[in-house]
Amino acid sequence: MEHISRREAIKRLSVMGVATSLQPSLLASNPADDYKIVIQNGSVFTKGSLRSVNVGITQKNRIVLSKEAITGKQILDATGKVVSPGFIDILADNASNPKQTYLTFEKYKLGDGLTTVLQMHGCMADTQGWHQYFGARPHYVNYGGGVFVMLVRFQQNTLAGRFRQVEKCLDEGALGVCHSIEYQPTPYSEMLGYAKLACKYNRPLSLHLRYSAENTELKGVQEAIQLAKDTGVRVHIAHLHSTGGTYHMAEALAMIERAREEKLDITACVYPYSYWATYLASKRFDPGWQERFKITYKDLAVVGTGEKLTEASFRRYRTRQGLLVAVPPGTMPLDKTVDLALKTDFCMVASDGGIEKEPVANNHPRGAGCFATFIQHGQKIGLTMAQILTKITTLPSNLMRPALNDRGSIATGNKADITIFDPKEIDAVATVANPNQFSKGIEAVILNGEVVYKDKKLLAKRGRLIRY
C-alpha cells in the first residue's frame, strides 16, 4: 500500500530519527545481525506483567523476546520507559467523510500511541467496496471495521434485504455487526436477527444501547444481556458510562457480572472523560433532553471553538447536520461512572472518537487523547500498569479474536506493533477548544516492524487492513 519509491527514504529518516530519541546507539551494519530493531532496558509488558527482557524485531517484522543480550541494526534504549504492545482502539469513529479525512483521523490516533484502529460503531455497508477503496491507499495505522447497520437499514426497506446485506458484509470479512439503537430505534425481533448473524460468523455484536435516560438506561443493559442469552453471540457494550451506566453504573456492572458468571460473553468499554459529545441534530437532543441530562442550552459547547450555545443558536445549529457539541465536564462524574467500570476485569478503554479535519476539528478531544488520558488517569486511581495496559491491548485483542490473535501482546512470533512511552510524562494535550494535538509522553511507535512515529513526527505509513 506504500509508494515504493519513497520507502527507502522514509526508512532512512526513521533510522536517523531513532538515533536522536530514546538515547539509542546505532551499531555498524553487520550481515550477522539477527534483528532489524532491538529494544533494551525497558519495562516490557508481556504475559500480563512488566518484565525486564530484550525485544528483537526480525527481518520478517516479528517479535522475539530474549533474556540474553541481542544485537541489531537499530538499538533503542528504553530506560525508564514502558514497552507496550501497540494500543488498540476498537471504537474509533470516522463516520462523516472518511474517504477525505481518514489520514487526518489516523495520524492523531498514531500520535496517541495507537497501532490498530477499528471502527466498531460501524463503518461499512459494502465490505468489499470499502476494503478495495482503503486497501489501495497508504495508512498510518492498522485499520478495519464492522457492518454499519444504521446505513444498511437506510438502504434496505425489508428485513430480508437487511439480513442479506449484513451477512454479505460478514462473508466478505467485516469485523462484526454494529448498531446504535438509541439513534435508530429498532425492534428487538430485528435485533435478534443481527445477533444471530454475528454469532453464526463468530463476530462480536457491538451495541450503542437503546436508552440514556436515568429511568430507562438499565433496560438497555438488560436488552444487551438478553441478546447474548437468546443467541449465544458475544456482545460488546459501547461506552457504557454514556448509555447504560451514567446514573446506575454499579447496578449495570453487577448485571453484566452476573451474566458473565452464567458464561455469557459480554464486555464493555468506556472513555476516560467526564463529559460526552455528540451531534446536535441527533435524537439525543429531541425534546426532553434538558430533563434527561439535567443540563440546559448554556451547558453545551461547540467542539473546536468552545462557543457556548443559547436557545437561539441551539435551534439554528440543530438544523445543521454533523455539528458536534459537548456537555460540561462532570456531567458523568468519573468516580461514579468510569472509575467503577475500570476496576472490573471485563471493561476495556475505547475512544468513540476521531479527529476528522484540520487545523481545528469539530470532534471530541478523546479522538486524539483518549489513551494517554487513560494511562495517566489509571495511575491516579490506583490501577497497576499491567491492569492499565491490559485494557488497551489484551482485552480489545481478545474481543476481536481471531483477527488480532497475533497482535495486542508482546510475544515471540507476534507481529511487531509496539508503543514505547514514558509513564510519568504521558498525558493528553487535546482540549474541547483545540482537539487537534498529539499526546505527550509517546516516545516511539513501531508498526509492522518499522519505526513510524517519534518525537511527535510521522515517519512512515505502514498500516495494514485487519479483516476476517
How confident is the model over 293-337, as pLDDT tens digits?
A: 889 999 999 998 889 999 999 999 999 888 989 999 988 899 999
Q: Work out the average pLDDT over 161-187.
A: 97
> What pLDDT, on the 0 to 100 scale, is given for residue 125?
98
Residues in CB range of 95: below 8 A, 6 or more apart: 119, 121, 123
> What pLDDT, on the 0 to 100 scale, is given for residue 276?
84
Q: Which amino acid is at 179?
A: H
> What pLDDT, on the 0 to 100 scale, is given for residue 29?
36
Q: Work out the average pLDDT over 343-351.
A: 98
Residues in CB range of 261: below 8 A, 6 or more apart: none
Residues in CB range of 301: below 8 A, 6 or more apart: 307, 308, 309, 325, 326, 328, 432
How confident is the model over 15-24, as pLDDT tens digits?
A: 333 333 444 3
Cis peptide before 359 (omega within 30 of 0): yes
CATH of 4-83+417-427+434-458, one of 2.30.40.10, 3.20.20.300, 2.40.180.10, 3.30.70.20: 2.30.40.10
pTM: 0.89
Handedness of CA 72, 406, 456, 427 (dihedral sign): negative
- Confidence band for 447, pLDDT divided at 50, 70 and 90: very high
In the predicted structure, residue 347 carries a pLDDT above the cut 90: yes
Best-predicted range by mean pLDDT (288-297, 357-366, 371-380): 371-380
**CA-based nearest residue to 272, from 467, 413, 160, 430:** 430
Structural domain boundaries in the chain: 4-83+417-427+434-458, 87-274+332-399, 275-330
The cell numbers describing 339, all together, are 472509575
In the predicted structure, residue 27 carries a pLDDT above the cut 60: no
In the predicted structure, residue 10 carries a pLDDT above the cut 70: no
Quick check: 447 and 63 in contact, CB under 8 A? no
> What pLDDT, on the 0 to 100 scale, is given for residue 357?
94
In the predicted structure, residue 189 carries a pLDDT above the cut 50: yes
Q: Is 344 exposed, middle or buried (0-12, 13-18, 19+ CB in 10 A)?
A: middle
- Confidence band for 12, pLDDT divided at 50, 70 and 90: very low
Q: Work out the average pLDDT over 17-45.
A: 63
Three-class DSSP labels, 132-156? HHHHCCCCCCEEEEEEEHHHHHHHC
> What pLDDT, on the 0 to 100 scale, is given for residue 187?
98
Q: Which amino acid is at 329?
A: P
> What pLDDT, on the 0 to 100 scale, is given for residue 240?
97
In the predicted structure, residue 468 carries a pLDDT above the cut 60: yes
Superfamily (CATH H level) for 87-274+332-399: Metal-dependent hydrolases (3.20.20.140)
Q: Work out the average pLDDT over 48-52.
A: 97
In the predicted structure, residue 2 carries a pLDDT above the cut 80: no
CA distance 215 to 413: 50
In the predicted structure, residue 155 carries a pLDDT above the cut 70: yes
How confident is the model over 394-431, as pLDDT tens digits?
A: 999 999 999 999 999 999 999 999 999 999 999 999 99
Q: Give the Å distances, CA to CA, from 236 to 175, 196, 197, 408.
A: 13, 15, 15, 18
> What pLDDT, on the 0 to 100 scale, is given for residue 433?
87
How confident is the model over 425-438, as pLDDT tens digits?
A: 999 999 988 999 99
In the predicted structure, residue 248 carries a pLDDT above the cut 90: yes
- Confidence band for 33, pLDDT divided at 50, 70 and 90: low
The cell numbers describing 364, all together, are 471530541
Write down the mean pLDDT value for the chain: 92
